[in-house]
Structure 1
Amino acid sequence: MANNPVFNRFNDDLSKGRYASIGKPQYGQYATPDQQQQQQYGAPQGYPNTGAQQAYQPPQGGRQYGGPQGYPQGRDPLESMYQKPSASAVQSRKMTLDDVVTKTLGLFGIMLVTGAISWFVAKDSQPVGMGLWIGGMIVGLAIGFIISFKRVVSVPLIVGYAAVEGLFLGAVSQFFNTIWPGVVAQAVLATICVFVGMFAGWKFGIIRVTERSRKIFGFAIMGYFLFAMVNFLLVMTGVLSNPFGVGGSGPLGIVISIIAVGLASYSLAIDFDSIGRGINAGLPQKYSWLMAHGLIVSVVWLYIELLRLFARMRN
């Protein structure tokens, strides 16, 4: 949860120029049948296939024109300019901010539905809720890494990740709310406020994202991810009796949570900047699914860290 390799891979590919030609039509892709025939028979560009010196004869009888070879009989050659766009032209439509927002809201809706189901299931049966918690976390991490390192955008995997993550969040939220009533509402409200604040700060240039800050953040987030994994294993194996692991609910634990919230918050700024770079690079529309998935990953991480912080402060 603490790492977002989706945007890490995207920014690495973008810096190496791997997206430079994405969405750009290739030469000849939209050539008319007459142009293709001219290229085939070597006719000079701009002249019909009947020869350079032959004058153009207007069509006789309107639609009964039986013009140069390459046009269907009875069809005006000018109609080729108004044909329905081909599948390749539709697929090359550029990604926009609206595309990313729409996909993000859709994935968030799926996560809310499965989260609500998991919430009520965990409320009725604690063992089942614990299974959804652990199982959802492990399966979610696995799917997340597959999506991150897969070169082809897989919409079913992205949708599946949102559904599994919802099961995980519902069970975790129910557990925290049972022990610390009201902490879930506080974490949800804080997540929304941080999201809006980080977006505004990035949009108006208050929070800057540079190549240097990306590198520093990358090392910091990698270190925290390793720490989180070790801490989780120590708690699960019983080496640490406190459910929060290292630091517990004391001052050290609160400091660790504050650092984690800070990293998750800055991760949102990097996500916003990466989405902007993707739009400027002219990525195809299908990449809006990948951008939405990466944004969901950061939001979930921020929510979990805020949940842990408020629970620690309650103790």
Structure 2
Amino acid sequence: MAGGNPVFDRLNKQIEKERYAGFGAPQGSPQQPAQQGTQAATTGYATQDAMTAQQLNDMYARQAAGPADTGRVTVDDIIIKSAALFVVTVVVAGASWAWTAANPSMTLLFWMGGMIGTLVIGLGIAFMKKVSVPLIMVYAVLQGAFLGAFSQYINSIPQYEGVVQMAVLATLCVFVAMYIGYATGFVKVNAKTRRMFFFAIVGYALFSLLQVVLLWTGVISGWGFGESGALGIGLSILGVGLASYSLAIDFDSIDHAVQVGAPKKYSWLLAHGLIVSIVWLYIEFVRLFARLRD
């Protein structure tokens, strides 16, 4: 189910190691010590007889331990942590927007600093053995700084006026549509589609990295390959499609983590992945709408 995602490969190993998938061995099972079985055999029903009727009634009426009681991931956990990361990103983006609008000379610093910082920290989050909440928070702050500077710059260009607002609305609509599609089974996620998505995303990432290098060196300009022609618009549509399906992958990963009883600490990682996909989708929409304006 985890496909080629190193985070979820590690998560599954952790689940198997810590036995999060069950509540423990029942009485009389092979996992129980032999001494316990001997004691039960010799005492017979003595223990049960010693309990009052009220104690027995309370024991059977007691609510079973849920995921939250056993330290496992819950949907509520992921929603709360996603909301926290989203708020941090949006607040910092708003501050970055206001600061770069008042100080245009700082736009490049916020833009490049945020972009390079998120790239480096993102790789660290993906491959480090432990889930680091402070690192995830720093990523959200840098992501907000980049988003604010990037969005403010686009909005300051007269021909792109309104593109940012359109991209925000489009991102929200696609998020809702993908969730409904996944929940109803219309959008499928399985091992095969995960493999296909993995190779597609690796190819797109390498292509994007090459494009950034060529833009920095002046070999190409504007929006990169294809500029605002048919090729450029086609590439932006491809980016929007990949980012949209990334949301479905995130929904499926969350569903899988809850089902198998992943450790609670992974709720931060799942929330982080969801916010990253949302931001990626927003950026792709900005590029697409700007190209269409051209």
TM-score tier, shorter chain, comes to: 0.7 to 0.9
SS at match of 1:44: helix
Correspondence 1:140 to 2:101: no
Aligned residues: 269
**How far apart, in 1, do the equivalents of 2:207 and 2:260 lie?**
35
Residue among 76, 89, 95 paired with 1:98? 76
Residue 237 (structure 1) shift: 1.3
**How far apart, in 2, do the equivalents of 1:6 and 1:298 lie?**
17
> Equivalent residue for 2:253?
274
Residue among 4, 9, 12 paired with 2:9? 12
**How far apart, in 2, do the equivalents of 1:143 and 1:6 lie?**
23
Are the equivalent residues in 2 in contact too, given 1:261–1:305 (CA < 8 A)? yes
Correspondence 1:217 to 2:197: yes
> Equivalent residue for 2:179?
199
> Equivalent residue for 1:44?
38
**How far apart, in 2, do the equivalents of 1:269 and 1:296 lie?**
13
Kindly provide the amino acid, as one letter, of the partner of residue 198 in structure 1: M
Kindly provide the amino acid, as one letter, of the partner of residue 9 in structure 1: P
User: After superposition, what is the alpha-carbon deviation per residue over 1:29-82, rounded to whole angstroms, capped at 9, x for unaligned?
Assistant: xxxxxx99x95xx893238xxx969x88x99xxxxxxxxxxxxxxxxxx9xx9x
Correspondence 1:230 to 2:210: yes
User: After superposition, what is the alpha-carbon deviation per residue over 1:198-234, rounded to whole angstroms, capped at 9, x for unaligned?
Assistant: 0000100111011111111111110000000000111
Change (3 A) 1:90 1:264: closer
**How far apart, in 1, do the equivalents of 2:257 and 2:131 lie?**
14
Identity of aligned residues (%): 46
Correspondence 1:127 to 2:105: yes
SS at match of 2:186: coil
Considering only aligned residues, what root-mean-square deviation do their CA atoms show, in Å?
A: 2.9
Are the equivalent residues in 2 in contact too, given 1:23–1:94 (CA < 8 A)? no
**How far apart, in 2, do the equivalents of 1:313 and 1:252 lie?**
12
Residue 127 (structure 1) shift: 2.4
**How far apart, in 1, do the equivalents of 2:161 and 2:281 lie?**
20
> Equivalent residue for 2:244?
265
**How far apart, in 2, do the equivalents of 1:313 and 1:43 lie?**
74
Q: TM-score, normalised by structure 1?
A: 0.77
Kindly provide the amino acid, as one letter, of the partner of residue 150 in structure 1: M
Residue 283 (structure 1) shift: 1.0
Gaps of 5+ in 2: 27-31, 51-55, 60-66
Are the equivalent residues in 2 in contact too, given 1:91–1:284 (CA < 8 A)? no
Q: TM-score, normalised by structure 2?
A: 0.83
User: After superposition, what is the alpha-carbon deviation per residue over 1:120-144, rounded to whole angstroms, capped at 9, x for unaligned?
Assistant: 1111222211111001001011111
Residue 25 (structure 1) shift: 5.5
User: After superposition, what is the alpha-carbon deviation per residue over 1:9-33, rounded to whole angstroms, capped at 9, x for unaligned?
Assistant: 234346x6552323645669xxxxx
Residue 243 (structure 1) shift: 2.3
Computing the radius of gyration from Cα coordinates, the structure with the larger value is: 1
Residue among 241, 244, 252 paired with 2:223? 244
Kindly provide the amino acid, as one letter, of the partner of residue 46 in structure 1: A
Residue among 20, 23, 39 paired with 1:22? 20
Correspondence 1:190 to 2:170: yes
Kindly provide the amino acid, as one letter, of the partner of residue 241 in structure 2: G
Are the equivalent residues in 2 in contact too, given 1:6–1:148 (CA < 8 A)? no
Bigger proportion of residues as helix? 2
**How far apart, in 1, do the equivalents of 2:177 and 2:14 lie?**
32
**How far apart, in 2, do the equivalents of 1:45 and 1:276 lie?**
42
Correspondence 1:113 to 2:91: yes
**How far apart, in 2, do the equivalents of 1:140 and 1:104 lie?**
17
